[in-house]
Amino acid sequence: LAAHPDDAVAWTALGRIRLDAGDVGGADAAAQRALALTRTDPVALTLRGEIVRSRYGLAAALPWFEAALARDAYYHPALIEYAATLGDLGRYGEMLAATRSALAARPGSPQALYLQAVLAMRAGRIELARAMLAKIGGAIDGVPGVVLLSGAIAYASGDYEQAVARWHELVGRQPMNIAARRLLGAALVRSGDLRGGLDVLRPMALRDDADSYTLALVGRAFEATGERDWAARFLDRAASPVLGRPAPFASDASVPVLASQATDAPGDPTAIVPLVRAMIEDGDRTGALSRAQALAAASPGAPAAQMLLGDTLAISGRFAPAYAAYVRAANLRFDTPTFLRLTEAAAQSGAVADGAHAVALFRAQNPEDIAARRILANLQLTARQWDAAIETLEGLVRSVGSRDALLLAQLAYAHTGAGDPATARHYARRAYMLAPMNPTAADAYGWAMLNDGDAASATPLLRKAAALAPVRPDIRVHLAQALAH
């Protein structure tokens, strides 16, 4: 490019290299330079679509892929990215059509067959998903998504040993992938390897921010091994909705070793991130912040660098500057992890309106995202927008299933607020049957009964909820109203 600054192909290649290296801002600048030189190149248009998808969201990327396909209807990379984006948006019919076009453009395309397998699995057609993967013939077996899907097919078919093998491979490659660890632990427990499942899950379950599913899995595994005292501890925690503040993940290496590695690779986030984690764990928050700030300044176009700075500030309780760092990260990569950090920092720093705006933006671009829909439901319940909350929560139940006690309890609250306590009792009873020691489920059931005119049945439940969560003001108010009858 120094010799040929108007070479659009070279600018596109540079953009691809930068994107693969995590420099989203630099990649965008290169892609826009390429498109300024050639507006009709499908390669540059597809690259720009991938960058826009990272920076702004799924819906914003579609016009770029469509523009690339308008220039070349059988450009395979654009068809694959277009199909994947449509699938993430929940537009499955259009996704299928795009994968068929990709197979017409490149017969036997492993990427298109993989996407068709994903589509079949989402529709519950396990054997069809298996057949689609079999057609790939191992061509992209190393892709994490393929490993995850093949394990899911095995698990759904009851072949837990095969699921263990596939997910063990994935966790080996991505040790910080919490979802993969949870799946591996569940498969180990189902396969009868209780000790193996505990070895995988226990480090997660011991954390203050452990999720209830992991805690319940660990509790049931201890129960099956006859260790009822340990089982009771984890099952009691699983029944409680209270989460502690997350701690940074520990590093296996010492600070001096990691500092030496960072010195050998200056400016490389993959070397600096574990060093910052280790420094925080060691109690050196000042040093960790200094390292994170230096990396963020040196890599303004890398979302990982801005995220690291935000995380380091948030761990120290400095949520306002953390929020600013997360905004910079979100301008480069507006994905679920960034979104969740951004909304949490906004809430903690008092920027409630900004947090609500972020939720609206993210939801518009990612309408199928579970975390965003949960947050939206919480906001709607807080704002007493009962009908909107019911619509959001019912959609979530269709997506995640009807065994989530919290969702069912929230549906009960929403129906009670909307003046339909009879329907609320139905949902609340199901929540309570799933989690009888959960104060939210007990309170939702009691509150629905009270509003349905059954104060005698409601009072014991509300007393139980208040005993389980004595610091919850909403539960105390509900109990007081019941006692006043």
The total number of structural domains that make up the chain = 3
**66 in a structural domain:** no
Q: What pLDDT score does 246 carry?
A: 65
What is residue 250's predicted lDDT score, i.e. its pLDDT? Answer: 60
Same domain, 337 and 399: no
Task: Quote the tokens at residue 320.
Answer: 């306002």
Q: Phi and psi at residue 270, in whole multiples of 5°?
A: -65, -20
Q: Which of 98, 86, 8, 87 is nearest to 48 (CA)?
A: 8
Query: What per-residue confidence (pLDDT) applies to 258?
Result: 85
Same domain, yes or no: 409 and 463: yes
Q: Is residue 54 situated within a structural domain?
A: no
| Successive 10-residue mean pLDDT values, the chain, 485 residues | 96 96 94 95 97 95 98 97 96 97 96 97 94 90 92 95 95 88 94 93 86 89 91 85 61 80 77 85 89 92 93 92 96 94 93 90 92 92 95 94 92 97 97 91 96 95 94 94 91
Q: Which of 243, 265, 280 is the last residue of a domain?
A: 243
Angle at 336 between CA 295 and CA 33, to 5 degrees: 60
- Per-residue pLDDT, 254: 81
Same domain for 235 and 297, yes or no, is no
Q: How far, in Å, are 303, 429, 434, 461 from residue 478 at the CA level?
A: 45, 17, 22, 10
56 lies in a domain?
A: no
Which letter does DSSP use for residue 143 in this model? S
Say if residue 354 is in the same domain as residue 390.
no
> CA-CA distance, 86 to 59, in Å (whole number)?
8
Would you state the structure tokens that stand for residue 21, as one six-digit string? 């290296």
Residues 382 and 356 in one domain: no
Question: Per the structure block, which two tokens stand in for 59?
Answer: 């819906």
In angstroms, the CA 178 to CA 200 distance is 10
pLDDT digits (tens, 9 = 90+) for 92-118: 999 999 999 999 999 999 999 999 999
Answer yes or no: is 4 within a domain.
Answer: no
Question: Would you say 338 and 59 are in contact if contact means Cβ atoms under 8 Å apart?
Answer: no
pLDDT score for 177: 87
431 and 459 both lie in a single domain: yes
**Which range of residues forms the domain containing residue 393?**
375-483
CA angle 282, 312, 372 (to 5 degrees): 130
pLDDT of residue 242: 59
Position 475 in a domain: yes
Choose the final residue of a domain: 305, 336, 360.
Answer: 360
**Rounded Cα gap, residues 385 and 10, in angstroms:** 53
In terms of Cα–Cα distance, which of 14, 107, 62, 150 is closest to 367?
Answer: 62
Location of structure tokens 């303004």: 300
One domain for residues 232 and 263: no
In the numeric block, the tokens 């990272």 are attached to 54
**Do residues 398 and 468 both lie within one domain?**
yes
Give yes or no: residues 156 and 227 share one domain. yes
Q: Which of 306, 328, 360 represents a domain boundary (last residue)?
A: 360
| Dihedral over alpha carbons 66, 67, 70, 74 (to 10 degrees) | -60
pTM to 2 decimal places = 0.86
Among positive and negative, which fits the CA dihedral 439, 444, 448, 451? Answer: positive
Same domain, 205 and 280: no
In a domain, 132, yes or no: no
Within-domain flag for 46: no
Domain match, 380 and 465 both: yes
CATH code for the domain of 231? 1.25.40.10
Check whether residue 397 and residue 348 sit in a common domain.
Answer: no
423 in a domain, yes or no?
A: yes
